[in-house]
Amino acid sequence: MPGDGIPSGGDTWGISGSTFLLSYGLIIVVVGVLVPLAQMAMRRGSGDPAALAARIERHPGDVAFLTGGPNGAVLSAIGALRTAGVVRASSLGRVQVVGPVPRGAGRLDHAVHSAAARGMTRGQMARDPRVVAELEASADRLLAGGLVSSPGNRAGQRLLGLAMVAVFGFGVIRLVAGSANNRPVGFLVLLVVPTVFLSIALIAAVPRRTGLGRRVLQQLRGRWAVLRPSAGPAWATYGPAGAALSVALFGTGAIMAMDPNMAIGLHLVNTGGGGWSGNGWSNSSSCSSSSSSSCGGGGSSCGGGGGGGCGG
């Protein structure tokens, strides 16, 4: 029964242990729900997703940067160059350059091609100054379009996460007071510990994309369903731009589908599942099974995890 503790100096602050636990738990839940909601509202963004999608799809590198950051953008350029036949599978995180950049290639493609020709690994390419310059231009365009949050906006979202830190602090104060009062604090510890992780999550997990950016990506994945790797698109038919867009929208599975050896050589295959490997971005659109039951050409599995797809 509440309040039936071992009498010893009375309840801390005059509030019984069970009452405090209940209230504290409620506070955690409320803050844990309200803060993310407030963060989402802060990054919502406004604009016409369909119109923006139609504009951004002409710059697959920007789309790739939106979904997968610098690594994503580099990979989409590699996909384009592979489809153009000017790079080939290699090993140790590299690709081999076998031809000049094709006509009509974008600036990012040029930069990645040059970096590859100098023997850089995928990771090194993302740090190459020429590539970085193109990525910064991408970031600027995405910011101007309202598809990513400004640094100030993200800082504001993180500040909201401090509310959970306050909850943590409040719990610690109660813990200290309770111990000093020789009251049992075991259950309270069980509640305070999660607030540490919640605080970290709410402060750290602030995405760069705005709500508008997410809606634009939804539009794009719908418009370009034909490029879904699991549907087995004919890469030569859709060309380098199509390949870049497929990598941008559907992740490493596209590289796996267009050239499994290159995916292995680029160290894309060790991590399982769809989306980006190695840099923590999760691609929210995972592989759904294609409605077509005929086997498209080439490996049709989405994401790493070995072969799969249709045999032969």
Partner 1 sequence: MMPIEDRGVGIGWRPEIRGVVEELPGLRFTEVVAESLPPAGPVPDGLSELLARGVTVIPHGVRLSLGGADPVEPGRVARLAAGAELLGAPLVSEHIAFVRGGGLEAGHLLPIPRTADSLDALVDNVNATQAELPVPLALEPIAALFDWPDNDIDEADFITEALDRTGALLLLDIANVYANARNRDQDPLAFLDRLPLERVAYVHVAGGSEGDGLYHDTHTDPTPPAVFDLVRELCARHRPPALMLERDGHYPPAADLRAELDALADATGYPKVTATEPAR
Exactly one of 44, 154, 238, 264 binds partner 1 (CB under 8 A); that residue is 238
User: Is the Cα torsion angle 112, 115, 119, 121 positive or negative in sign?
Assistant: negative
Q: Is 236 in the site for partner 1 (CB under 8 A)?
A: yes
Please report how many Cα atoms fall inside a 13 Å half-sphere around the Cα of residue 147, on the Cβ side.
28
Concatenating the DSSP letter of every residue in 89-100 gives E-STT-EEE-SP
Which residues, listed in sequence order, are joined to residue 89 by a DSSP beta bridge? 95
Shortest Cβ 56–partner 1 spacing (Å): 18
d(CA 201, CA 135): 27
Sole window of 100-108, 154-162, 224-232, 275-283 interacting with partner 1 (rule: CB under 8 A): 224-232
Sequence-distant (6+) residues with CB within 8 A of 11 are: 3, 5, 17, 183
Residues in the chain: 312
Sequence-distant (6+) residues with CB within 8 A of 229 are: 246, 250, 253, 254, 256, 257, 287, 300, 301, 302
Q: Is 310 in the site for partner 1 (CB under 8 A)?
A: no
Shortest Cβ 310–partner 1 spacing (Å): 11
Exactly one of 19, 150, 270, 292 binds partner 1 (CB under 8 A); that residue is 292
Which residues, listed in sequence order, are joined to residue 95 by a DSSP beta bridge? 89
Q: Is 239 in the site for partner 1 (CB under 8 A)?
A: yes
Sole window of 51-59, 126-134, 209-217, 236-244 interacting with partner 1 (rule: CB under 8 A): 236-244
Q: Is 293 in the site for partner 1 (CB under 8 A)?
A: yes
Sole window of 20-28, 59-67, 135-143, 228-236 interacting with partner 1 (rule: CB under 8 A): 228-236
Shortest Cβ 49–partner 1 spacing (Å): 20
Q: Is 132 exposed, middle or buried (0-12, 13-18, 19+ CB in 10 A)?
A: middle
d(CA 256, CA 247): 10
Exactly one of 117, 175, 290, 310 binds partner 1 (CB under 8 A); that residue is 290
Q: 224 or 276, CB closer to partner 1? A: 224
Shortest Cβ 243–partner 1 spacing (Å): 12
Residues of this chain that bind partner 1 (CB under 8 A): 225-227, 231-234, 236-239, 242, 290-294, 296-297
